[in-house]
Amino acid sequence: MNANTTHTDTNTTVAQEAHTPTRRFKKSVIELYSDAVERVVDSKKSAAQISANGNEFKGLNKAILNDAKAELGYKSNKWFNSKQFEEAGLFPRDGDDYGVILFSTKLIDIDGSTKKEKVIRYYRVFNEDALEVIPV
């Protein structure tokens, strides 16, 4: 799949960052997405997953984080993006530097048309248990 692949049957674009293999969470982006979509309803009953700024993750991302937390053995429900952990003076521990992939969607205008196209983007978050303070 190239950097921006449009699936004509679903009219969805997947914007990918450079391929980086994960060491501990060994599912592809598409596998994560597919697995999580199937369990979004069940995620409403699962533990809240909170971003570093206090917002609660919902739906698909909540399901992904609950799965990752269980699979990776984390106890914390708090997750940081790279900007947040850097601002907090934290760094990923050795072996935990790949994070967990989450998704966001956005509707964009299709050039020369009144139609919109859904763009799916992904980003990484890191569990509080996978971060540590590096002494200076």
Q: Is 87 helix (H, G, I), strand (E, B) or coil?
A: helix
Domain map (residue ranges) of the chain: 4-133
Both tokens assigned to 47: 């533990």
Distance CA 90, CA 129 (A): 11
77-122 pLDDT, tens digit per residue, is 999 998 998 888 888 887 766 789 998 888 988 888 888 888 988 8
Distance CA 118, CA 35 (A): 20
Tokens read off for 66? 């609950």
pLDDT at 26 over 50: yes
Classify burial at 26, counting beta carbons within 10 Å of its beta carbon; exposed 0-12, middle 13-18, buried 19 or more: exposed
